[in-house]
Structure 1
Amino acid sequence: MNISVIYFSVLKKITGKSQETIHMEKSGNAEDLFGILAQEYPEMEKYKTYMRLSVNQQYLPFTTELKPNDEVVFITPVSGG
C-alpha cells in the first residue's frame, strides 16, 4: 500500500524532501512506517521521542493502523521567538 508522508521542519532538512510516497509491502501502523523511514534516514530516530503523529489531519497515536493512501505527518516540536 502507498502512504503519503509530508515532512516539515527538521525532518524536511534530514530527508531533503517536503513529501514522498512510501510503499509498505503489508499493512501496518505508523510505528512500522516510522521504522521504514528511520532505515532510510537514521537521523530521524533521535527526534522520535518528541514527535506527534497526524494521519489525514488528525492527531493519533503511533499505534494507528494505516490504510492505503493515508497522509501521514510526523510532527517535531517547533520553537521560535
Structure 2
Amino acid sequence: MRVRVKFYSSFREVTGTPEMYLDMSMDSTVNDLVAKLLNMFPKLRLQSDEIVVSLNKRSVPMDSILKEGDEVSFLPPVTGG
C-alpha cells in the first residue's frame, strides 16, 4: 500500500523534501513507518516523545494501523516561553 508522508520544520530540512510517497506492507503501523524513515534518513530524529504524528490530520498513537492512501505528517513539538 502507498502512504503520503509530509514533513514540517526541521524534519523537512533533514529529508530535503516537504513530502514523499512510500510503499508499506499491509497492516503496517505508524511505528513501522518511523522505522523505515529512520533507515532512509539516519539523521532524522523521530522519537515518539519528541514529535507530533498526525494521521489524516488527527493526532494518533504510534501503534495506529496505516491504510492505503493515508496521509501521515510529522511535526516537531510546539514549545514556547
- After superposing on structure 2, the runs of 4+ consecutive aligned residues of structure 1 that deviate more than 6 Å are none
Q: How far apart are 1:13 and its partner, in Å?
A: 0.2
Higher helix share: 1
Give identity over the alignment, percent.
29
Q: TM-score if structure 1 supplies the norm length?
A: 0.88
CA separation in 2, counterparts of 1:43 and 1:17? 14
The root-mean-square deviation of aligned C-alpha atoms, in Å, is 1.6
Q: Which runs of 5+ in 1 are unaligned?
A: none
Equivalent pair of 2:26/2:67 in contact (CA under 8 Å): no
Q: What code does the residue aligned with 2:28 have? A: G
CA separation in 1, counterparts of 2:28 and 2:62? 11
Match of 2:63 in 1: 63
Q: Which runs of 5+ in 2 are unaligned?
A: none
Q: What code does the residue aligned with 1:9 have? A: S
Q: TM-score if structure 2 supplies the norm length?
A: 0.88
